[in-house]
Amino acid sequence: MIAPTPSRPRPSTHGKKAELARVKAFPAKQQRSEQTREKFLQAGLDLLRSSHYPDISIAQISARAGCSIGSFYLRFRNKEAFFEYLIESISDTLKTGVRANLTQANVKGLTLAQTVRLCVDHYVETNRQYASVIRAALQHSINGSEDWQPVRDIGLMLHYHYIDLIVGKSGRVSNDGARQQLLVGFQILSGHLINSIAHPVNTLPLNDPDLGHWLFQVVMHCLKIKPPVSPNKS
């Protein structure tokens, strides 16, 4: 008796669909394609500064980038994937920037207080620069999106980088208490900045020129070190 030839299982498309659903940006095959993708990202940033995320269409992003809608879909699965990829791109840019420009060597000649102020000013300016993206992530997360988690991760990455610099200046590298105090301080800062971005506030709004000074005072207080009195403050 001849045994029946076993039938070959059909390749499952479910796994491929699930994998495709997780793709944010399709890989660029050449330099020109990479440059076009960067144009789309810059266009998205520009539009977010003047419009709310739900009101921005793929057609608007494409027109602002000077590219076709078809070119958009060659690089991004949809608008949600585009926005997620934009956040990841910002994260990579910030990581590269702080590792190059905020190092122990860069703060070697600074006092502890000056190092704290440098870190606070960097954090304030970062939130100002990407306020529109943070606001969009907040709006998007209300509808069940997980876009807030990457933004939160960026904030924590910056917090821990600042803390390493500050504790290194204090000479208390192994002092977990100082690290915890600093983490609390930066979380307080983060809460105020996010609130200022999400809702207009009358006290220390995002564009207040004294914002960095007062948030610096908060971190120094959490570190339990008396900050120097500014000559312009009573």
Asked whether residue 231 carries a pLDDT value surpassing 70, the answer given is no
Asked whether residue 16 carries a pLDDT value surpassing 60, the answer given is no
Q: Within a 10 A sphere around the Cβ of 188, how many other Cβ atoms?
A: 15
Mean pLDDT of the chain: 83
Mean pLDDT across 54-63:
95
- Top mean-pLDDT range of 2-11, 192-201, 221-230: 192-201
Asked whether residue 212 carries a pLDDT value surpassing 70, the answer given is yes
Asked whether residue 77 carries a pLDDT value surpassing 80, the answer given is yes
- CATH H-level, domain 30-76: superfamily: Homeodomain-like (1.10.10.60)
Mean pLDDT across 38-44:
95
Q: Single out the residue of 224, 227, 219 nearest to residue 183, CA to CA.
A: 219
Asked whether residue 4 carries a pLDDT value surpassing 90, the answer given is no
Q: What is the pTM of this model?
A: 0.79
- Counting residues of the chain whose pLDDT is more than 70, the rounded percentage is 78
Q: Where are the domains of the chain?
A: 30-76, 80-234
Per residue in 123-146, pLDDT (tens digit) is: 999 999 999 999 888 877 766 666
Asked whether residue 10 carries a pLDDT value surpassing 60, the answer given is no
One DSSP character per residue, the chain reads -PPPPPPPPPPPSHHHHHHHHH--BPPPSSHHHHHHHHHHHHHHHHHHHHS-GGG--HHHHHHHHT--HHHHHHHBSSHHHHHHHHHHHHHHHHHHHHHHHSSTTTTTTS-HHHHHHHHHHHHHHHHHHTHHHHHHHHHHHHTT-STHHHHHHHHHHHHHHHHHHHHHHHT-TT-HHHHHHHHHHHHHHHHHHHHHHHS--SSS-TT-TTHHHHHHHHHHHHTT-PPPPPTT--
Q: d(Cα 12, Cα 161) in Å, to the nearest integer?
A: 44
- Confidence at residue 224, expressed as pLDDT on a 0 to 100 scale: 81
Per residue in 173-197, pLDDT (tens digit) is: 557 888 999 999 999 999 999 999 9
